[in-house]
Amino acid sequence: YFIPLQQRVHKARRVRADLFVSVHADAFVKPTARGSSVFVLSESGASSSAARWLAQKENAADLIGGVSQAVKDPHLARTLLDLSQTATINDSLKLGKDVLGELGRINTLHKATVEQAGFAVLKAPDIPSILVETAFISNPEEEARLSDGGYQDQMAEAILRGIKRYFSKNPPLAKSKLTLLD
């Protein structure tokens, strides 16, 4: 079932997630586009015109799912982002680099560096977040691999290895649970 983009972030924040990973299959108008990519949030705009186009396409998913994001309080959004966004983006870049390195072991990389764009699902101000484009479903060769269960497992294992590498260098902080005393 469809979960609106902002609800995805809200769910992650509600469970106090240590990180957020959104996994996708990329698509482009030309079937020759290929490779895996990892994106993190950009505070200043997309790192390329293709990244900007992809972010706009993914952010439009709420419209496809029947949810309009027309009502926003820009002052509240800016205040929330300013609280911790810079540190979170830096952690996201570290996570993205580790995951991208592992993806490069099993697939061609679309770009050799972590890209940045304004994806709605990356906007949790306090959770390191990445968006993984596993491969191009619009490329017949990559589409065939993405349909293969064994390749899906390899892709999932590569993402997991990258996450484990990130956590080995950046262990999550202990999060105490609020308890009520009688």
DSSP reduced 3-state for 5: helix
Residues near 163 by beta carbon (within 8 Å), at least 6 away in sequence? 19, 21, 95, 98, 99
Per-residue model confidence (pLDDT) at position 107: 97
Q: Are 33 and 143 in contact (CB under 8 A)?
A: no
Whether the per-residue pLDDT at 140 is higher than 80: the answer is yes
How much is the average pLDDT of 54-78? 47
- Residue-level pLDDT at 123: 84
Please compute the mean of the pLDDT values over residues 109-130 and round it to a whole number: 91
Most confident range, picked from 28-37, 74-83, 116-125: 28-37
Nearby residues of 29 by Cβ (< 8 Å), 6 or more positions away:
138
Tens of pLDDT, residue by residue over 73-105, are 666 555 655 656 788 899 999 999 999 999 999
For the segment 32-49, the average pLDDT, to the nearest whole number, is 80
pLDDT at 176 over 60: no
Predicted pLDDT of residue 94? 97
Lowest-confidence region among 67-81, 105-119, 120-134: 67-81
Q: Concatenated DSSP letters for 61-127?
A: HHHHTT-------HHHHHHHHHHHHHHHHHHHHHHHHHHHHHHTTTS-BSSSS-EEE--GGG--TTS
Residue 11 near residue 119 (C-beta atoms within 8 A): no
Mean pLDDT estimate for the chain: 81
pLDDT value at 113 more than 90: yes
Q: Does residue 35 carry a pLDDT above 90?
A: yes
Sheet bearing 129-136, strands edge to edge: 20-26, 129-136, 37-41, 115-117
Q: In this predicted structure, what is the pLDDT of residue 45?
A: 52
Q: What is the pTM of this model?
A: 0.76
pLDDT tens for 43-53 read 765 445 454 54
pLDDT > 70 in the chain, percent: 73
Residue type, 114: V
DSSP bridge pairs for 109:
36
What is the predicted pLDDT for the residue at 78? Answer: 57
Residue 180 clears pLDDT 50, i.e. is over it: no
Helical (H) or strand (E) element with 49 = helix 49-59
Alpha-carbon distance of 54 to 37, in angstroms, equals 11
